[in-house]
């Protein structure tokens, strides 16, 4: 899982960099702009963002306003944290479902430049949502255990 969430997006970033430099050189030096480079870089970016978000979920580093959670302590805090994790899971499950339906509907359509089946691109939504659901479920379980231990 770490491989997918850390190595793959890092590699995607590195390849994006190479592809864009290649694009600049081919266009400005050789006057032969490649047709596929723009699209490839954009798709790699989408992969990077979604898998990187799963990594962010694992590290609990998503941008949030934590005024309320830091003000609370003990049982009240554990209850709030549990509810927040469940809310995150609620959205993620909806997005997972939406992603699967969208994948089914869209997967055979070829992409404009590379003519790659779009399934490879849009599959990232359900994959990333599933990964994030797992992370937040693990967090929810931890808060639940805290609550049990406390009472």
Residues within the interface to another protein (CB under 8 A): 6, 9-10, 13-14, 16-17, 20-21, 23-24, 28, 38, 41-42, 45-46, 48-53, 55-56, 59, 61-69, 80, 83-84, 87-88, 90-92, 94-95, 97-99, 101-103, 105-106, 121-122, 124-126
Q: How far is the CB of 28 from another protein (least distance, A)?
A: 6
> CB–CB of 89/105 below 8 Å?
no
Between CA 147 and CA 83 the distance in angstroms is 12
Q: How far is the CB of 58 from another protein (least distance, A)?
A: 10
Nearer to another protein, 93 or 141 (CB): 93
Q: Could you tell me the sign of the dihedral formed by the alpha carbons of 15, 16, 20, 23, in that order?
A: positive
> CB–CB of 20/37 below 8 Å?
yes
Q: How far is the CB of 148 from another protein (least distance, A)?
A: 22
């Amino acid at each position: 899982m770490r491989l997918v969430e850390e190595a793959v997006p890092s590699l995607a970033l590195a390849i994006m960099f190479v592809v864009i430099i290649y694009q600049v050189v081919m266009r400005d030096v050789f006057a032969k702009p490649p047709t596929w480079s723009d699209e490839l870089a954009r798709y790699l970016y989408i992969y990077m963002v979604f898998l990187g978000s799963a990594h962010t979920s694992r590290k609990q580093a998503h941008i949030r306003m934590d005024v309320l959670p830091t003000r609370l302590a003990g049982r009240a805090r554990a209850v709030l944290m549990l509810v927040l994790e469940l809310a995150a899971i609620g959205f993620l499950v909806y997005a997972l479902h939406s992603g699967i339906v969208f994948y089914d509907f869209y997967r055979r359509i070829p992409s404009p430049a590379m003519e790659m089946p779009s399934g490879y691109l849009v599959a990232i939504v359900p994959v990333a949502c599933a990964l994030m659901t797992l992370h937040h479920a693990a967090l929810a379980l931890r808060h639940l255990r805290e609550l049990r231990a406390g009472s």
